Structure 1
Amino acid sequence: MFNKSLDFFIFDSDRTKLLNWKKRVSIIEGIAQGLLYLHKYSRLKVIHRDLKANNILLDNEMNPKISDFGMARIFSANEPESNTTRIVGTHGYMSPEYVMNGIVSTKNDVYSFGVLLLEIVSSKKNNGIYHPERLLNLVGYAWQLWNDGKALELIDSEMLDGPNSPGEVLRFIHVGLLCAQDQATDRPTMRKVVSMLTREAKPFPAPKQPAFFISDSSAEPGVSENKSKTCSVNEITISIMEPR
């Protein structure tokens, strides 16, 4: 694509300045609409399973395009979830029920979207360490700031053209934390997410504690011994061919 991928911009100290708040909002909303189509309006339900910044391509007008469907699972319209014995994906973006129990559902993508949303707002990688004593990753750091009433500190301070309304920033962070909650049943559907992002849904429920908020990968819950876990700690996807 003309502008490569999203990680090319948001994780670079110079190029991140080119993404003002209005453009970040447009990218977040575009990704949300794309996931909603895959989950709800596509002929078959598609679960991406590897949503992350370098799988979001940007065209010449910086419109986002979800890419790399090599790990996607296809479901019938009425099939809510399934199980897999092969865990594939990228550390920091995989939901806890998928990592621990191999449960595949649309809520896997919702969790990944929540992480990605917080990365876009902050221009920080989820797998970094943002607290010297507690080893908090980005989701944990956002959760701590939210509880301390300092959530606005999460926004990228290098942004040249920031938001006009602090309330809009808080709304997006709120949605990101709702998507990254520990329990899949607590996370909203992408249809609800799109509604919340466009201010159609009020009031929002309070977010609960997120999953995997400790940055040290050794502290993350493991996978049971009878499952095969194949994932990457350096944000490079490792794929395994498997029937869909």
Structure 2
Amino acid sequence: MGKNTDRASPAHVAIIMDGNGRWAQKRGKPRLFGHHAGARRVREIVEACPDFAVKYLTIFAFSTENWKRTQSEVSGLMKLFKRYLMSETKELVDAGVRVRFIGDRIKLDETLVALMDELELLTCHNDTVHLTIALNYGGRDEVARATKRLAREVKAGRIDPEAVDAETLARYLDTYVLPDPDLVIRTSGEARISNFLLWQSAYSEYEFVDTLWPDFTRDEFGRILASFTRRERRYGAVPG
């Protein structure tokens, strides 16, 4: 992979949407109030993507570690996901957004999984923006699941173990049809990646911003994307 010299806008942006709970608490509201505000912000950023030449957007909606939260918050989030999928389907279809989900669906209830399947099917021919929603997702969990699938293929004799390399394993990841993210943004002032796209973001640029997710506007999104075009991506090479 060579150096990016054209300084283009990132084709694939991934976002760790952090700060919903703190945003709500600062306003004396329950945490779920912030999650609802955050869901509305998702629509604005998805709608902005074509204007900024962002073809792929991946958002971190619920991690494998988020089950540790209170039962009331987890239950409220699951209801919010269902409501979002039902209310946004027409808008997403009409806007030409293709939706995919990554993560382990085993722990999700059947109604939610059915809504996810339906939305993927209804948008499968869209190509304006590719929106990937990470739901019950963790980077380590994804690699472990991919390794299990690959191991089964090797055991069955369909793959030579000596031929396994990084590209082989990548084909078994949840994101196998997507390009790696060019840019990963995390809101809320936290400077960590929280088990998000560990494999895929090996050479991604990162931007950590103090803004809480419900306050993250398309203008701030645009400023970050403009800043990205001034970065030199060397992928391990030396300048020049």
Question: Which is helix-richer, 1 or 2?
Answer: 2
TM-score when normalising by structure 2:
0.28
Compare CA radii of gyration and give the structure with the larger one.
2
Question: Higher relative CO (CA 8 A, sep ≥ 6), structure 1 or 2?
Answer: 2
TM-score when normalising by structure 1:
0.28
